[in-house]
Each structure stands twice: as C-alpha cells, then as structure tokens.
A and B are shown apart, each in its own frame.
Chain A
Amino acid sequence: MAVAAAIACRLLRLRAAGAGGHWRRLRGAGLPRGFLQPASAGEDAAQWRRVAHFTFQPDPEPLEYGQTQKMNLFQAVTSALDNSLAKDPTAVIFGEDVAFGGVFRCTVGLRDKYGKDRVFNTPLCEQGIVGFGIGIAVTGATAIAEIQFADYIFPAFDQIVNEAAKYRYRSGDLFNCGSLTIRAPWGCVGHGAVYHSQSPEAFFAHCPGIKVVVPRSPFQAKGLLLSCIEDKNPCIFFEPKILYRAAVEQVPVEPYNIPLSQAEVIQEGSDVTLVAWGTQVHVIREVASMAQEKLGVSCEVIDLRTIIPWDVDTVCKSAGLETENLKMLTLSSWERQSVIKTGRLLVSHEAPLTGGFASEISSTVQEECFLNLEAPISRVCGYDTPFPHVFEPFYIPDKWKCYDALRKMINY
C-alpha cells in the first residue's frame, strides 16, 4: 500500500514537474528505474523540487510608453515606487526592513535617493504599520506601506477592514484614506509552507471600500501599482513572490498607468474561458496551449487583475452571450463589438476552494449567463487545508489539474 502510494506520488510528481526537459531525461533513463527509486534519492530529490509549476511567458515589448528596460518583477516595483516618490512630494514608503532595500529588494536605492524621512523602517508590528498608514493617508499624504508577507497581514486585518475601508463611508465623505496603498508578497513560492505562501485576497474581497489588485508580470505590476498609488481609494497590491526574479520583461522606464477594475483578455478563443490572476495566469496560458494542441479547443484566457471591484463585464461577455442587467459596466478599451461566446468557464487560484474568489465569480456568472452556459463552471483551486510544507506540489492547482477539469468540461 505504501509502495503503491510512493509510486503514485512519483507519478504525480513527474506529471506535475512540468518542464519537458525533466520528463524527457527520465524517459531516456528508462521509466521503470525512475519509478522504483525511493522518493528521497538524493540528487533526484533535489532535482524535481527546483522545477516550478509554471513557465513565465513575457508579453511583447510595449511601444506606446517610451523607452523600455529589461526588468524583473521586483525591479519593476522599485521603478514604480521611484516614479511615485519623484512625482508626489508627500509620498512615503515604510514597512519592515524597507530601508536597506527590503527582503525582496523592492525598495533598493530609494532611501539613498529620497532620504530617510521618506523611506523608513517600522518596528515589527503589522497592525501598527497599517494603522499608522491610515493616519498618514487621512491627512492627505500618500502612504505606501509594506507588509513583509501576505501571511502576516492578519494582525492588520482589523485596521484594513474596519478603519481603512469604511472611513469614507462612515464620515460621509468628509474624510478618507484613499492615498493608502499596502503592498505584500503573495502566493506560493515552492518552499514557503504554512506562513509564507498564503493568498488572502478572498478575505479582503468580502470588504467593500478597498481595492485588491494582483499583477501577473513586471509590466503589469508597474502600471497597476502606479494606478493603485494614484487611486483615491485604499488599495492592497499583492505581488506574486515567485515571480520576483522569475518574471523578466521589457518595462517602460517612464511612469504609466494600467486602469484598475479592468480584466485583460490575453488570448482570444471561442470554446472555453479561463480566468485567473497572478502566477496562475501563466499556468492557464500553458493549459490553453495544451488544449489547443491536444484537443483542438480554442481557449480565451483572461487575467482578472483587480479582484475587487472585479470586471464582471469582460468575464460575462466572454463566458456568455447577450448578458443582460450587467451591474458594473465599465468603459474600457477592450470592449468589443462582436461578443465572444464560449459558454464554458474555468476559474483557477491557489487559495483554498471554499470561499475562494472563484466562488464569487462562479456565482455571479451563473446569475448573469445561466442560459448560455454549456457546462457547470469549473473551479480549480487549492484544497481546503492549510498550505502544506512537503505536500505543496500536490496542493497547488497545476496545469494538469486545470487541463483535466477543462477536458471534463468540454465533454460534459
């Protein structure tokens, strides 16, 4: 029984490994030998752990914003913060260890450039950091707070939900903390375990008054972060930490904005709509190409970008024809005259299934487009357990699980 489990483990791991090179190497070595090796065989153990569950796919170089430079995600964030501090004399950046550059190097060089009264460390107190940030924002200065890991945002949950989100509402628009932006590294990273891998966007989705944004790439990150900072509402900006170094792209040096509450259709298709955000977008992009190649299915891939308030319009138009009574019509450059009908929707995220944001998307889309759906909406998410330590490769919704769900949806 244990042997069967071990073999099954190895099989799943091989499938989950993703990168073709690894798969081929084992094939060449003779698969049976691969099966019978103990799971903890030294070199091999180290090998498969290094393989990520996604491949970052950079977008083509943007030409409309001027000169671009090759940057990875943390450099794009630094660039955005640099632009903000330059443009807005009241902007301050604070958080744990931001002065020397931050644990992920997102604030490197800013203290030297702008001074220690604008980029400073706080003691170890998340509730204090956010509360303090709300205070700064209420007086009109721009506060950019950093929470070291999204997992540590919970001591500050009360401040965000009860103080920041409700300020404008409860004061009848007399006061607001709109110039507050909170940044936090987010999502699984391969070895984060329980307290360095969480994706808490669903907790904040339940709170009207704040905006939650998750970028998928350096170009998106810089534009979205600048929009968040300039937006007159408190925003939480989650940065996928696994992409900090892995995602490299050409990013404009000058500041530019990407509008919030607008999803982006990365790839157009006609059979299935796939929705995700952050790192998971790259996973579903790969799933889309797998589906095209193996099943001849044309997938539409949507990056949600803003979690709340989310772009109901784009997703519904994609998943269902003739959507009536759309509650949030946003004017966007992506509005199309011809509506794409797929009738099938798959939403994927790393956070646990129950109460994850996919449930909100699923329930809204079925409300709006019930008669146009060809199959039940599929959600491929993490399990309803705490984020595991050794079991991470099995926990995350990798491309094989998404592909499997897609196939079952096609054959419904």
Chain B
Amino acid sequence: MQRHDVASVTNAPIVAPRAFSPRDTQKVGGVALAVWVVGGCGCPVLHSMKKMLAAAVSRVLGGGAQKPASRVLVASCNYSNDATFEIKKCDLHRLEEGPPVTAVLTREDGLQYYRMMQTVRRMELKADQLYKQKFIRGFCHLCDGQEACYVGLKAGANPSDHAITAYRAHGLCYAYGLSVQSILAELTGRRGGCAKGKGGSMHMYGRNFYGGNGIVGAQVPLGAGVALACKYKGSNEVCLTLYGDGAANQGQIFEAYNMAALWKLPCIFICENNRYGMGTAIERASASTDYYKRVNFIPGLRVDGMDVLCVREAAKFAADYCRSGKGPIVMELQTYRYHGHSMSDPGISYRTREEIQNIRSKSDPIMLLKDKMLNNKLSSIEELKEIDVGVRKEIDDAAQFATTDPEPPLEELGHHVYNNNLPFEVRGTNQWIKFKSIS
C-alpha cells in the first residue's frame, strides 16, 4: 500500500491517514491555499497561519511515524509534484481576454479535489439511499454530477469569499466547510444538523455561506446585497451567487443584474446550467440559452462545468475581475445532474437513459480528474482507492449519526421567529397550548 510522501511534508500532504480527521484535511489544505493566496497579508496573520500549518504538519508527522520508513521512502519517488494541463477555452461575452487556457495542478490539490468530489458524490448517493428508506423526508435535491462546479468554485475563490445558492445546495455546503455529518443530520432533521434540524435539505447555512434557499431566484438579489456589503466594508471579498437555468428566467434576477452593474458590486453571478429546469429542457424554457450573454451590460464567461480545473481558473479570473472594482460578472457553468430534479422525479421522463449514461462515461467530473492524475503520475490507483475507502467510511459514520441523533426538542418549535430580548409566547392552535419563543 502506498503511503503519502512524508519527506515532502512541508507541502502539507492532503491524503489522510486513519488518525487524521477529514476536517483537518480540509483545514490543512485550506490553510495552505490561504497562505499561498493571502501572501501579502499583514504579518501577524501570516505568522498565525504558519503556526497552524506547523501544528497540522506535526500532527501528520505524529500520525505517519508509525509506518515503516522503508515503505515511505519507496513511495516518494513515484509521483510528480505537479502537472500542467490544457483546459477548454471559455466563451466570452464583452471581455477581451478570458481565463488562461492552461492550468497547473499540484499533487496535493489534485488529491484534495478528488477527495472533496468523491465525498460529495458519496454523500449524495447516501442521501438518496436514506430518502428511499424514509429517514429523509420532504424534498431532497441532489447534485451528483455537478461536483466539479462546487469544488472548482471553492478552489478558485478566496476562503473569505461569500456564497449563496438555491436549493440544490449539499455540494456547495460541503465545499464551504460544513461536515458531512452536519449535512446528513440536517437532512434527517436531527439536532446535530447545521440548522439544528429545523431547516432540512433546502436550508443549510455555514460561515460565509448564506444557504440554501427554497424560492427559485430569490437568492440572487440577496447575493447582490451581500456583494454590496463586501464593497461597503472594503473587505476585498466577493459574493458567488449561484442560480440555475430555470431560475435564469425569473424577473428578480434581472433586477439584481441591473443594481449590481449600476453600483459596480463585486458579485459573480453563476448560472449552473444543467440543461433542465426540473423537467423542462432549456430550449423550451428560454428564448436564449446563452445564459452568460443574458445581460448586455455585464461581461460573461461560459465554462465547462465538468472539469474542475476549468471551473477553478474561471472562478479565479472572475474573482480577480470583481475584486479589481470593475463590477459584476456572469459565469455560466455547463454541467449535468444525474439524478432527477428531486427525489420524486425519476429523471428519465424528459431525457433518455442513454444521454445520462453518455455523460457519465464521457464527462464525469471525478473520472476526468482521476484520468488526469493517473496519466500524469500525480497519483496511483491504489492511493485513490484508499481515498475512496476513507470517504466511504466517513459517509457511513455520518449516516449512522444522522439516523441515531435525536430530533430537536419540541420546545424549539417556537424559537427563533423574531429576535427578542425577552422570550414571548407563540400563539396558535388554541389558548391553552403556547410555545415559548426564544432567540
């Protein structure tokens, strides 16, 4: 069994040995990314980040020290550190130049992206299973097939950037740092969930991540508002505002475009075009299916959403564009979802199984990344299989938690309706049963 390269540990290895929790993996990777990106930050910040990195690194060393040294040394020679790939050129609208056509993928990044995408995939499939077993009820919109979008967006943006999306949110939730456990527990409506079990599938929130919104298109003006706050506070952050191809026809989106362009808000409008708005193909719903060209006064990019490197480079480009004060930008991610719109939609009444199979075999995002990594000696099959096993275990543990955690207590029915200093009583049903509302 190959072990990760302990000798080059200063590059912050990402593959987790058993002793390392998945959250640490992300933290280390995230920290590495942050250190690299935020380089010019003030000294104290960089110093503390270096300390965090050192701490994480020492944990890895501690964990890896148990393995026989000989096996470790053998491993270190086999992998290249990074590789350069040619990526698809983005279609541009009102832009002279777009994101670069080549991208460098380092080994660590590659492993991290692979792990994240595999986790999202497995998590969605587990959610499917739990739904069919009736542990998850209500509405559940799965995003398997679209993993590259979320992982790529997160990789291309800064950790301090904000994001808001619609109801197909589980993938972005995970990318934005929510643990699989809290996501699955929220789906099953338990108190360990990220919204304490009160939100469910469509209402998950995290740091700098504003959900999880049920009403189609309603989150876009909200995203523009978050961007306004970023600009106002001068924090050099942008807001990634995601919506779907169905939502692209909502009136409020155009209102948000206008305001963002007028006030030059650092808002990246991202249309996840998965070709079907519920059951309606884009040709039958939209007069123009060039979603990146929808707005005459906002520049746009069309990006291959199945290639994580494409998405990453485009996200970086778009974020830099916004950060430089030029105003909003629209990004269309061409992607695909394997499941139906929600769990009550089999997904085959409006498209053929052949089409789904075709995409799965030709442009599955995880498969594409895996091929890239294997063909360029960034990893090996065994290592990736090991990641798969680790991911599977993580998901199983999370599912176990999600099905056994208790539900939120009944008293919470009335909580958090308003923000009030003194608890008040929520009226309803009859005069004799009241719930206290505390927040």
Interface residues of A (CB under 8 A from B): 2, 5-6, 8-9, 12, 38-40, 42, 45-46, 49, 96-97, 100, 103, 121, 123-125, 127-128, 151-152, 154-155, 190-196, 352-354, 378-386, 388-391, 394-395, 397, 401, 404-405, 408
Cβ of B251: which chain A residues have Cβ within 8 Å of it? 125, 127-128, 155
How long is the Cα–Cα vector from A9 to B409 in the complex, in angstroms? 8
Cβ of A384: which chain B residues have Cβ within 8 Å of it? 417, 426-428
Name the CB-closest residue of B to A409: B430
Interface of B is mostly: loop
Stretch at the interface among B192-200, B294-302, B367-375: B192-200
Query: A401–B433 contact, CB under 8 A?
Result: yes
B262-284 interface code vs A (CB 8 A; 1 in, 0 out): 00000000000000011110001
Cβ of B138: which chain A residues have Cβ within 8 Å of it? 191-193, 196, 389
B372-384 interface code vs A (CB 8 A; 1 in, 0 out): 0000000000000
Asked if B363 CB lies within 8 Å of chain A CBs, one says: no
Query: A394–B413 contact, CB under 8 A?
Result: yes
Asked if B22 CB lies within 8 Å of chain A CBs, one says: no
In-complex Cβ contact of A42 among B403, B412, B428 (8 A): B403
Cβ of B139: which chain A residues have Cβ within 8 Å of it? 191-193, 196
Query: B413–A191 contact, CB under 8 A?
Result: no
8 of the cross-chain contacts (CB-CB < 8 Å) are: A38-B404, A123-B246, A123-B286, A192-B138, A195-B215, A383-B413, A383-B435, A388-B413
Name the CB-closest residue of A to B246: A124
Also in contact, A383 and B403, with CB within 8 A (given A100-B349, A121-B285, A394-B413): no
Cβ of B406: which chain A residues have Cβ within 8 Å of it? 2, 6, 38-40
Name the CB-closest residue of A to B349: A100
- Chain A nearest Cβ from B428, distance in angstroms: 3
* Chain B 96-131 interface residues, beta-carbon cutoff 8 Å to A: none
B183-217 interface code vs A (CB 8 A; 1 in, 0 out): 00000011000000111101100000000001111
In-complex Cβ contact of A125 among B202, B250, B427, B433 (8 A): B250
Q: Top 5 A-B pairs ranked by shortest CB distance?
A: A383-B428, A195-B214, A390-B189, A123-B249, A191-B137
How many of chain B's residues touch chain A, expressed as a range?
35 or more
Query: B410–A5 contact, CB under 8 A?
Result: yes
How long is the Cα–Cα vector from A12 to B413 in the complex, in angstroms? 14
Also in contact, A389 and B189, with CB within 8 A (given A121-B280, A191-B138, A193-B200): yes
How long is the Cα–Cα vector from A384 to B433 in the complex, in angstroms? 12
Cβ of A408: which chain B residues have Cβ within 8 Å of it? 430, 432
Asked if B421 CB lies within 8 Å of chain A CBs, one says: no
Also in contact, A97 and B280, with CB within 8 A (given A123-B285, A390-B198): yes
Interface residues of B (CB under 8 A from A): 133-135, 137-139, 189-190, 197-200, 202-203, 214-217, 246-247, 249-252, 277-280, 284-286, 349-350, 403-414, 417, 426-430, 432-433, 435, 437
- Chain A nearest Cβ from B317, distance in angstroms: 29
Name the CB-closest residue of B to A38: B406
- Chain A nearest Cβ from B182, distance in angstroms: 15
In-complex Cβ contact of A8 among B134, B410, B413 (8 A): B410
- Chain A nearest Cβ from B294, distance in angstroms: 13
- Chain B nearest Cβ from A284, distance in angstroms: 14
Also in contact, A45 and B135, with CB within 8 A (given A125-B249, A193-B200): yes
Also in contact, A394 and B410, with CB within 8 A (given A123-B249, A155-B251, A193-B138): yes
Cβ of B411: which chain A residues have Cβ within 8 Å of it? 5
Cβ of B410: which chain A residues have Cβ within 8 Å of it? 5, 8-9, 12, 391, 394
Name the CB-closest residue of A to B345: A103
Cβ of B250: which chain A residues have Cβ within 8 Å of it? 124-125, 155
Query: A353–B428 contact, CB under 8 A?
Result: yes
How long is the Cα–Cα vector from A381 to B403 in the complex, in angstroms? 31
- Chain B nearest Cβ from A20, distance in angstroms: 22
How long is the Cα–Cα vector from A97 to B285 in the complex, in angstroms? 10
Cβ of B214: which chain A residues have Cβ within 8 Å of it? 151, 194-195
In-complex Cβ contact of A124 among B189, B285, B426, B435 (8 A): B285
How long is the Cα–Cα vector from A127 to B407 in the complex, in angstroms? 38
Query: B200–A389 contact, CB under 8 A?
Result: yes
Query: A385–B413 contact, CB under 8 A?
Result: yes
Query: A100–B198 contact, CB under 8 A?
Result: no
- Chain B nearest Cβ from A164, distance in angstroms: 17
How long is the Cα–Cα vector from A323 to B197 in the complex, in angstroms? 50
How long is the Cα–Cα vector from A38 to B403 in the complex, in angstroms? 11
Query: B134–A46 contact, CB under 8 A?
Result: yes
In-complex Cβ contact of B199 among A379, A389, A394 (8 A): A389
Query: B432–A152 contact, CB under 8 A?
Result: no
Cβ of A379: which chain B residues have Cβ within 8 Å of it? 430
How long is the Cα–Cα vector from A314 to B426 in the complex, in angstroms? 32
Cβ of A401: which chain B residues have Cβ within 8 Å of it? 429-430, 433
Cβ of B198: which chain A residues have Cβ within 8 Å of it? 388-391
Name the CB-closest residue of B to A190: B137
Cβ of B412: which chain A residues have Cβ within 8 Å of it? 391
Cβ of B286: which chain A residues have Cβ within 8 Å of it? 123
A-B contact sample (17 more), CB < 8 A, given A123-B280, A124-B247, A128-B251: A5-B411, A6-B409, A96-B278, A100-B350, A127-B251, A128-B249, A152-B215, A190-B137, A192-B138, A194-B202, A385-B428, A390-B197, A391-B198, A391-B412, A394-B413, A395-B428, A404-B430
Name the CB-closest residue of A to B189: A390
How long is the Cα–Cα vector from A195 to B213 in the complex, in angstroms? 10
Name the CB-closest residue of B to A41: B404
How long is the Cα–Cα vector from A5 to B202 in the complex, in angstroms? 27
Name the CB-closest residue of A to B433: A401
- Chain B nearest Cβ from A202, distance in angstroms: 14
How long is the Cα–Cα vector from A394 to B413 in the complex, in angstroms? 8
Query: A395–B349 contact, CB under 8 A?
Result: no
In-complex Cβ contact of B134 among A49, A155, A194 (8 A): A49
In-complex Cβ contact of A383 among B202, B252, B427 (8 A): B427
Cβ of B279: which chain A residues have Cβ within 8 Å of it? 97, 100
- Chain B nearest Cβ from A3, distance in angstroms: 10
How long is the Cα–Cα vector from A384 to B417 in the complex, in angstroms? 8
Cβ of B197: which chain A residues have Cβ within 8 Å of it? 389-390
Query: A124–B134 contact, CB under 8 A?
Result: no
- Chain B nearest Cβ from A165, distance in angstroms: 20
How long is the Cα–Cα vector from A151 to B426 in the complex, in angstroms? 22
Query: A381–B277 contact, CB under 8 A?
Result: no
Also in contact, A352 and B413, with CB within 8 A (given A389-B198, A401-B433): no
Query: B137–A155 contact, CB under 8 A?
Result: no
Cβ of A390: which chain B residues have Cβ within 8 Å of it? 189, 197-198, 200, 407-408
- Chain A nearest Cβ from B346, distance in angstroms: 13
Name the CB-closest residue of A to B285: A123
- Chain A nearest Cβ from B80, distance in angstroms: 47
Cβ of B277: which chain A residues have Cβ within 8 Å of it? 123-124
Query: B432–A381 contact, CB under 8 A?
Result: no
- Chain A nearest Cβ from B252, distance in angstroms: 7
How long is the Cα–Cα vector from A380 to B214 in the complex, in angstroms? 28
Most buried by A among B199, B202, B246, B280: B280
- Chain A nearest Cβ from B406, distance in angstroms: 6
- Chain B nearest Cβ from A118, distance in angstroms: 17
Query: A40–B249 contact, CB under 8 A?
Result: no
Query: A353–B427 contact, CB under 8 A?
Result: yes
- Chain B nearest Cβ from A346, distance in angstroms: 9
Cβ of A383: which chain B residues have Cβ within 8 Å of it? 413-414, 426-429, 435
